[in-house]
Amino acid sequence: MSTSADAGGRLISARTEGIALVLFTACAWGLTWPQSKFLLTMLPPFSMRGACGVAGFSFAFGVAFIRRENVWPPRDQWPRLVLFAMLNYGLFIVLTTQSLVWLKASEAVTITYTLPVWASLLAWPMLGERPTVQKLLALVLALSGVALLVGADTSQATWQKLPAAGMSLAAAMLFGLATVLAKKYPLRLPPATAVAWQAMLGMIPVVGLACFEDAHFSRVSNAGWMSIAYISTLPLTVAYLTWFRALRLVPASTAATTVLISPIVGVIGSAFLLGETFGTRQVAGLLMTLTGVALAARS
């Protein structure tokens, strides 16, 4: 196997770097869910997301300026930029925020991260990434683990969760599409600039919906402000930088399946931070998902 050192004086292979970046991204995104659920006890849903998003794209533009990137997109990149902004940020955040109101954080994160199904299905016709038997097995194991996690809580009837679960599923489909499109038609923009513009454009529908809410930011505790600071920097900016970098290094289907580590982080974080149920079925689901992730990383 060739390494990055062989090609450019670096010590690890491009694939290893890509997997490591996806794992970092997954952990950062996974911790967002319990913290967002926590913030919903103090703020209305879209006001919460809007506050995090505005701080997030401001931070991203700051990073772009520090890196001395050219922050104005070329004219031919605008249509693609708007599309990616809606898929990666705008519509994704609107749908997942609403689902988080009605679902537990652990349920919302696991349903949303069925995105590998859609990414893998779309990567075949759009990118020619024919799924291998090992990758299909990884997908089955990971999604079976997700199903166990979602069905572990019997305190609420399944049918009552369907609308919110449908929103999470729709968000997963859109993000899976965005993953494949970003692989096939990458933005010709510097990394931080691409994230900053996508975050800013994606916040337009979120902030628009927040205008209809009655938010009182004086109710936000110190712990709440710390959560806002975390969400606006790591998940909304740094994790997207590592995600888009990873998509250049590993197949889209591999990246999408490996990112299933997010539900594991989200469920564990929800158990410890919010006191959500974490029993035998959750453990079994986590082990199955982790096995699938390990297979995907090796395939």
What do you get for the CA distance between the two ends of the chain, in Å? 14
Identify the pLDDT of residue 85: 96
Q: What is the pTM of this model?
A: 0.82
| Residues 6 or more apart in contact with residue 13 via CB below 8 angstroms | 1, 2, 3, 4
pLDDT tens digits along 41-80: 999 999 999 999 999 999 999 999 999 999 999 999 999 9
Structure tokens at 239: 């994790």
Window from 27-41, 42-56, 169-183 with minimum mean pLDDT: 169-183
Fill in the DSSP letter of residue 113: T
Residues 120-134 have a mean pLDDT of 81
Chain mean position to CA 194: 16
Structure tokens at 107: 């349920």
| Residues 6 or more apart in contact with residue 216 via CB below 8 angstroms | 43
Identify the pLDDT of residue 4: 43
Fill in the DSSP letter of residue 88: I
Whether the predicted pLDDT of 3 surpasses 60: no
Give the separation between CA 209 and CA 186, rounded to whole angstroms: 29
**Cβ(32)–Cβ(235) below 8 Å:** yes
Structure tokens at 129: 């990434």
**Nearest Cα to Cα of residue 231 among 32, 22, 42, 24:** 32
Give the separation between CA 38 and CA 42, rounded to whole angstroms: 8
Supply angle C-alpha 236, 239, 244, rounded to 5.
110
What are the helix and strand counts (H, E) for the chain? 15, 0
**Nearest Cα to Cα of residue 79 among 157, 171, 187, 7:** 187
**Cβ(242)–Cβ(21) below 8 Å:** yes
Give the separation between CA 156 and CA 33, rounded to whole angstroms: 20
Q: Name the residue ranges covered by the structural domains of the chain.
A: 21-213+221-298
Please state at what angle helix 78-85 crosses helix 191-210, rounded to 10 degrees: 60
Window from 14-18, 133-137, 143-147 with minimum mean pLDDT: 143-147
Residues for the chain: how many in total? 299
Identify the pLDDT of residue 172: 87
Assign 187 a pLDDT band (cuts: 50, 70, 90).
very high
